[in-house]
Structure 1
Amino acid sequence: MKVAIIGGTGFIGTHLIDHLLAAGHVPRLLVRPGSESKVERGAECELVPGTLAERAALDACVRGADAVIYLIGILREFPARGITFEGLQHQGVVDTIAAARAAGVGRFLLMSANGVRPDGTTYQRTKFAAEEALKASGLTWTIFRPSVVFGDPRGRMEFCSQLNKDIIGAPIPAPLFYDGLLPQQAGAFELAPVHIDDVARAFTLALGEPRTESQTYSLCGPQRLSWKAILGTIAAAVGKQKAMVPAPVFAVRAMAGLFDRYPWFPISRDQIQMLLESNVCSENDSFARLGLTPTPFNVDQLGYLKD
């Protein structure tokens, strides 16, 4: 099967290509000119030069494909550089749907995110709007909503590597965020980290499984872990004992309000809000429905942090 991938040079795309090739598929990637070196197995893929904003390149990428996978997602937007949630997480999906329809490609897999909703942050709203556009498109769709994804970053941005760099490796105690005035619940909000290979397996399986059509899968790992527990596991994986202190979120929000427009500031107001909401699956049965067993989050699985 020939699979057109939009967003194939990122963290998830790089691992997904390995799984697609192992299953005998032919990945075709839309690649920004100058970024060809980011495709680790480029000789085994078809590369189409161009950007999401170039309709001719988008048409060329999906033409003749059996399926389209849209992976693009960003954690922060920088409008001055043309990086926006609306452009990349919603309008980009709309444009790719139009290209797929014009090319007669009926199968479309979308990477969304756990917790998306129409009244949330801009990140959540645009992801939700993309889902709705796909459902209304007339294409045969499958939507995946992963929680935070961990695994070997291969030089790209990844959840645990970022926390190790920004928090565990910092010379100050790790912040246990809490809302309100009292710190009893500091760092108690929960996440369900999901391994990158499990996400890639789910996408690859869906290409050949009719039972996954018109289905939405929330992909969470097998554990609900507190922020404090996750930081402790990352610290243990790199051989450190990390001091942790309660951190009132109003102070972090105030700083983010001043500085989150700058790439050097580590977190945005929306990211803070989504962290405190927790990121776990209310019905954690998606992997069982897919016939897959998710990987646990533990020190053994975080060996890549020592590299």
Structure 2
Amino acid sequence: MKVAIIGGTGFVGFHITRRLAAAGHVPRLLVRPGNDGKVAQPGSCEIVHGEVGDSAVLEACLTGADAVIYLIGILREFPAQGITFEALQHQGVLDTIAAAQKTGVGRFLLMSANGVHGDGTSYQRTKYQAEMALKSSSLRWTIFRPSVIFGNPEGRMEFCSQLKKDIIDSPIPAPLFYEGLLPVNAGAFELAPVSVTDVADAFVLALTESRTESQTYSLCGPERLSWKAILTTIAAAAGKTKVMLPAPVVAIRATAAMLDRFPWFPISRDQIKMLMEGNVCAENDSFARLGLTPTRFAVEQLDYL
């Protein structure tokens, strides 16, 4: 099967491309000029150079493909640089849907995110709008909603390596965020980290399983872990211990309000909001529905740190 991948040079795309090639599929990647070095197993891939905003390039990438996978997602937007949630997480999906319909590609797999909804942050809202657009199309769709994803970054940005760099390696105590005036339940909000290899396996399986069509899968790891437990595990994997102190999230929000327009500032107000909401699956049965067993988030899985 020939599979067009939009966003195939990123963290998840790298692992999906490798899994596709190992399964005997032919990945065809849309690659921005100068990013050829980010392609996994280039000898097994077809490459189309260009930008997602170019409809002619999108059509060239999809022509002759049996399916398309859309993976582009960003954690922060910088409008002055032309990097926006609307352009990359919503309009890009709309354009790819149109290209798929024009070129006769009937199968569309979309990576969304766990917890998206129509009245959330700009990140959540544009992901949700992309889901709605795909569901209302004539394409045979499958949507995946992963929680925070961990795994060997292969030189890319990844949840655990970013936390190690920004928090664990810092001389400043790790922040245990809390709402309100008193540090009650500081760092107790929960996430359900999911392995990138498990996410990649889910995508590859869905390509050849008709039962996954018209289905949405929330992909969470097998355990709900507190922020404090996650930081403790990352520190242990890095061979460190880390002092942690309660941190009022109102102070972080106030600082972000002044500085999150700058790329060097590590977190935005929307990211803080989503972090404090937690990120766990309401019904954690998607891997069982797929016939896959998710990987635990544990020290032995984080040897890349």
Could you tell me the TM-score, scaled by structure 2's length?
A: 0.99
Looking at structure 2, the residues matched to 100 and 231 of structure 1 have their Cα atoms a distance apart, in angstroms, of: 42
Report deviation, 1:37.
1.1
Q: Name 1:197's counterpart in structure 2.
A: 197
Q: Name 1:3's counterpart in structure 2.
A: 3
1:102-117 equivalence runs, <5 A: 102-117=102-117
In structure 1, give the amino acid aligned to 2:185. Answer: Q
Q: Name 1:304's counterpart in structure 2.
A: 304
Q: Is 2:31–2:48's contact at 8 Å kept on the other side of the alignment?
A: yes
What do residues 8-55 of structure 1 show as CA deviations (whole Å, max 9, x unaligned)? Answer: 000000000111011110000000111111113112100001101111
Looking at structure 1, the residues matched to 200 and 22 of structure 2 have their Cα atoms a distance apart, in angstroms, of: 11
Looking at structure 1, the residues matched to 56 and 258 of structure 2 have their Cα atoms a distance apart, in angstroms, of: 40
Q: Is 2:17–2:40's contact at 8 Å kept on the other side of the alignment?
A: no
Gaps (5+ residues) in structure 1? none
* RMSD between aligned residues: 0.5
**1:264 counterpart = 2:264:** yes
3-state secondary structure, aligned to 2:304: helix
Runs of 4 or more consecutive aligned structure 1 residues displaced over 3 Å after TM superposition = none
What do residues 45-90 of structure 1 show as CA deviations (whole Å, max 9, x unaligned)? Answer: 0000110111111100000100000000000000011100000000
Q: Name 1:165's counterpart in structure 2.
A: 165
Q: Name 2:210's counterpart in structure 1.
A: 210
Q: Name 2:143's counterpart in structure 1.
A: 143
Report deviation, 1:6.
0.1
Report deviation, 1:117.
0.2
Looking at structure 2, the residues matched to 80 and 42 of structure 1 have their Cα atoms a distance apart, in angstroms, of: 33
Q: Name 1:35's counterpart in structure 2.
A: 35
What do residues 263-288 of structure 1 show as CA deviations (whole Å, max 9, x unaligned)? Answer: 11000000000000000000000000
Deviates more, 1:30-39 or 1:85-94: 30-39
3-state secondary structure, aligned to 1:183: coil
In structure 1, give the amino acid aligned to 2:237. Answer: A
Q: Name 2:153's counterpart in structure 1.
A: 153
Looking at structure 1, the residues matched to 141 and 41 of structure 2 have their Cα atoms a distance apart, in angstroms, of: 27
**1:175 counterpart = 2:165:** no
What do residues 114-154 of structure 1 show as CA deviations (whole Å, max 9, x unaligned)? Answer: 00000100000000000000001110000000000000000
**1:120 counterpart = 2:125:** no
3-state secondary structure, aligned to 1:304: coil
Q: Name 2:281's counterpart in structure 1.
A: 281
Looking at structure 2, the residues matched to 270 and 196 of structure 1 have their Cα atoms a distance apart, in angstroms, of: 24
In structure 2, give the amino acid aligned to 1:251. Answer: A
Identity %: 74
1:199-238 equivalence runs, <5 A: 199-238=199-238
**1:22 counterpart = 2:22:** yes
In structure 1, give the amino acid aligned to 2:215. Answer: Q
What do residues 171-200 of structure 1 show as CA deviations (whole Å, max 9, x unaligned)? Answer: 010000011111111000000000000000
How many corresponding residue pairs? 305
Looking at structure 1, the residues matched to 91 and 54 of structure 2 have their Cα atoms a distance apart, in angstroms, of: 13
3-state secondary structure, aligned to 2:231: helix
Report deviation, 1:234.
0.4
Q: Name 1:134's counterpart in structure 2.
A: 134
Looking at structure 2, the residues matched to 263 and 40 of structure 1 have their Cα atoms a distance apart, in angstroms, of: 27
Q: Is 2:175–2:244's contact at 8 Å kept on the other side of the alignment?
A: yes
Deviates more, 1:179-188 or 1:213-222: 179-188
3-state secondary structure, aligned to 1:60: helix
In structure 1, give the amino acid aligned to 2:15. Answer: H
